[in-house]
Structure 1
Amino acid sequence: MAAKKKAFDFERALGELEQVVTAMEAGNMPLEESLKAFEKGVRLTRECQQALQEAEQKVEVLLKSDEGIETKPFVDTEDDTYDA
């Protein structure tokens, strides 16, 4: 029997990502530790992005299921300089 997938905790993952970034910005880590932290940060970023995409898709499906509601593509209004 396959194991049940553990629910993703977006807020926990985002908090961990913030801790990783803060630790790396301090610049006090040896190279090997920095690489491990970077790998963790990339993994957390991807997981958070996936969770956000899934939430956006759920909202779009819910809006499409109601008659009379028009869906529009999500457009980020913030001026982010970070592209993932």
Structure 2
Amino acid sequence: MTKDKSPSFESSLAELESLVEAMEAGDMSLEDSLAAFEKGVKLTRQCQQQLSAAEQKVELLMEQQGELISQPFEDGSEG
């Protein structure tokens, strides 16, 4: 089984959260802040692509008898 070279959703999200925390601390130079922002945009796009792919897989799995059943995802958490 070949493993995809892109980072997992969870690792990308954790890295994005770390970047946000570092930027919010205000201890970064302007150049470092811009680099962190650029990296954050890239990570956000990667996460969005991974979420879209997962959503498409869920829709395919929910297809029954040739008809797509579209239901909102419920993860059981309330918030």
TM-score normalised over the length of structure 2: 0.77
Q: 1:11 to 1:5 in 2, by over 3 A?
A: closer
Gaps of 5+ in 1: 76-84
Q: Distance in 2 between matches of 1:41 and 1:7?
A: 15
Equivalent residue number for residue 50 of structure 1: 49
| Aligned residue identity for 2:7 | F
Deviation at 1:62, TM superposition (A): 1.2
Task: Indicate the residue corresponding to 1:12 in structure 2.
Answer: 11
- Provide, for residues 53-81 of structure 1, a one-character-per-residue CA deviation record: whole Å limited to 9, x for no partner: 000000001111x2287522658xxxxxx
Equivalent residue number for residue 62 of structure 1 = 61
Distance 1:30 1:7, change over 3 A: closer
Name structure 2 gaps, 5 residues minimum.
Answer: 74-79
Q: CA deviation at 1:7?
A: 4.3
Identity %: 56
CA–CA separation in structure 2 for the residues paired with 1:5 and 1:25 = 32
**Aligned match of 2:22:** 23
**Given the two structures, how large is their TM-score scaled by the length of structure 1?**
0.73
